[in-house]
Amino acid sequence: MAGIPGSTDAPVEPDRQLSVARHPVRPELVAHSPVPAGIPKFARTNPASVPASYRSLDPADLAVKDLHQFILGIVSPRPIAFASTLDAESRPNLAPYSFFNAFSSNPPIVVFSSNRKVKDNTTKDTLHNIRQTGEVVINAVSYSMMRQMALASIEYPPDVDEFAKAGLTPIPSELVKPFRVAESPAHLECRVKDIITLGDQGGAGHMIICDVLRIHVRESVLDEQDRIDPHRIDLVGRMGRAFYVRASGAAIHTLYQPMDAIGMGFDQVPPSIRHSPILTGSELAEIAALTRWPSEEEISVFADMPEIREITESEEEVLERLHERARVYIGTGQVRMAAETLFLADRIVGHQD
């Protein structure tokens, strides 16, 4: 029976290709605020440095269906627990739940929530089955089986087998009785540790806390270091309404931040850099994460490079061009050179003052 509720909003165009792009700031959402003293003229229009307009909402004032969509739209994307259970008569059930995550590695614990239906305040077959048997298999959902997962969310009667309806293949588990999904790239065999009821009205959740007893991972999704490759496992996540996200390809970004490398921080970044109209907050964070600033000697050596001299010896938009060059360096992973570029620009600002 259904685990992820259907949307009551307007339908979404299917199969629209996603692309990674920089989105311009919408002027109507940007409010003006005073610019701190000492900020160069070219940096005074940075929309990232001024507050935007927000709508404030009191959950108590919202209809449950609207509150549900605000929460889902903000807390997203969410992984999907494709939960396989058996009832007391050993009849299989399969349903997806996107109120799901991992909460502990030692001991290994995952948690998902089966909510009461908003329309009639009833509970779902998955919850009934778990209360009877105390076991569940959580199957990962890859892009190749996404539509079958959605088909299994239909509210079939308890005696209908969602494996058959969704065209999925049940295979035996090793330590629990519910079946695994053969088409899934990974399975977690679980024993239910606890169920915490969060309310008694439509939309209220039941937190199902699961001890992971056995992990199954398809060999083909592992890399040379025996780690899961996000491109190979090709998972999907749930967002608000009918939106999903594919967690592979251009959607994947690598971000490595050593915990023991003490970055300088935004508060130490010179104002002319911190209020750049060119760089985003995320790009500036690459600079703020450095453990030291470029020395005067390093900046001078850098300033003598032919491509940099071509910029600084010109008479037009020198600061803007240097910040644009820094953005290119950041985009190609040359953060130290980006910092030297920006500190050179800051030196020019100081000379102008």
pLDDT tens digits for 98-130? 999 999 999 999 999 999 998 899 999 999 999
Structure tokens at 229: 């490759």
pLDDT, position 6: 43
Burial class (CB in 10 A: 0-12, 13-18, 19+), 201: exposed
Global confidence as pTM:
0.82
* Residue 45: pLDDT over 60: no
pLDDT tier for residue 33 given thresholds of 50, 70 and 90: very low
Q: Which residues of the chain form CATH 2.30.110.10?
A: 74-251
pLDDT, position 3: 54
The CATH classification of domain 74-251, taken from the options 3.10.450.50, 3.30.420.40, 2.30.110.10, 2.40.170.20: 2.30.110.10
* Residue 50: pLDDT over 70: no
Task: Average the pLDDT over each of 44-53, 112-121, 161-170, 171-180 and give the range with the smallest value.
Answer: 44-53
Beta strands per DSSP E along the chain: 81-86, 92-97, 100-105, 108-113, 135-139, 170-171, 180-181, 186-197, 206-217, 235-238, 244-247
Mean pLDDT for all residues in the chain: 88
pLDDT, position 256: 87
pLDDT tier for residue 203 given thresholds of 50, 70 and 90: very high
Task: Average the pLDDT over each of 15-24, 159-168, 193-202, 227-236 and give the range with the smallest value.
Answer: 15-24
DSSP string, 236-268: EEE-STT-EEEESGGG-------TTS----GGG
Q: How far apart are CA 6 and CA 60, in angstroms?
A: 23
pLDDT, position 46: 55
The answer to whether 137 touches 143, Cβ cutoff 8 Å, is no
Average the pLDDT over 71-93 and give the result: 97
pLDDT, position 19: 30
Q: How far apart are CA 206 and CA 209, in angstroms?
A: 9
Q: Give φ, ψ of 37 to 5 degrees.
A: -65, 150
pLDDT tier for residue 257 given thresholds of 50, 70 and 90: confident
**Distance between terminal CA atoms of the chain?**
69
* Residue 9: pLDDT over 70: no
Q: How far apart are CA 24 and CA 206, in angstroms?
A: 41
